[in-house]
Structure 1
């Protein structure tokens, strides 16, 4: 149980740290946030839990393919905000666009027999 609490605590601390740094410098916050810390932690926890490098490899490959459609959020949100759209509405619309992009990516990958 202590192990799971440690995993949650470390992951939460990183998110809070990035938020606090971003208040002072959006650039430094963005640099830290753009490092795939969550993915690295997930791969680390998965390997520690299973000892299976194959599972880690599968996760890393899936993350690679799904990073591409996730970029839609980082394109849509700033464009919507620049157009004067309310932050919360812009965030919801951007998440919706991103969800559609995820669906498209999974559909295209499935068409080429690449299963995530």
Structure 2
């Protein structure tokens, strides 16, 4: 039952953000950039009894992924601005995300 509640609340958050973005793209983008998924995940982990040390490891993983996510979003925004189709922009953006993670792992690993 808890899984259904998590899915429902998470879907509602995404739905609300999407509706805001549809009407006010910049505001929607700023809201979407909030660490809502990370925060929701930490709350769900806590409610499920996950110990704080593991939640801390999760938070550090989020930080580790942040630069790659920023690269991905930049690539997608840049490509869309230059009239590439969304599917291609996402594909290249995810490729940039993966490449950035590999570079981080090599340099800092």
| Fold equivalence (TM over 0.5) | yes
Alignment of 1:11-30 (within 5 A): 11-30=10-29
The question of whether the paired residues in 2 share the 8 Å contact of 1:43 and 1:56 is answered with: yes
- For 1:113, the equivalent position in structure 2 comes to none
Tell me the distance in 1 between the aligned counterparts of 2:50 and 2:85: 46
User: Structure 1 segments of 4 or more deviating over 6 A?
Assistant: none
Residue 70 (str. 1) matches residue 77 (str. 2): no
RMSD of Structure 2 on Structure 1 (CA)? 1.3
Deviations 1:56-92 (A, max 9, x none): 1111111112111110112111221222222211111
In 2, Cα distance between equivalents of 1:18 and 1:99: 26
Question: Paired residue for 1:6?
Answer: 5
Give me the TM-score of the superposition, normalised by structure 1. 0.85
Gaps of 5+ in 1: 111-116
**Mapped partners of 2:105, 2:52: distance in 1:** 24
Distance (Å, rounded) in 1 between the aligned partners of 2:82 and 2:32: 25
Aligned residues: 109
Equivalent-residue separation in structure 2 for 1:17 and 1:62 (angstroms): 26
TM-score w.r.t. the length of structure 2 is 0.90
- Displacement after TM superposition at 1:51 (Å): 4.1
Within 5 Å, give how 1:1-116 maps onto structure 2: 2-110=1-109
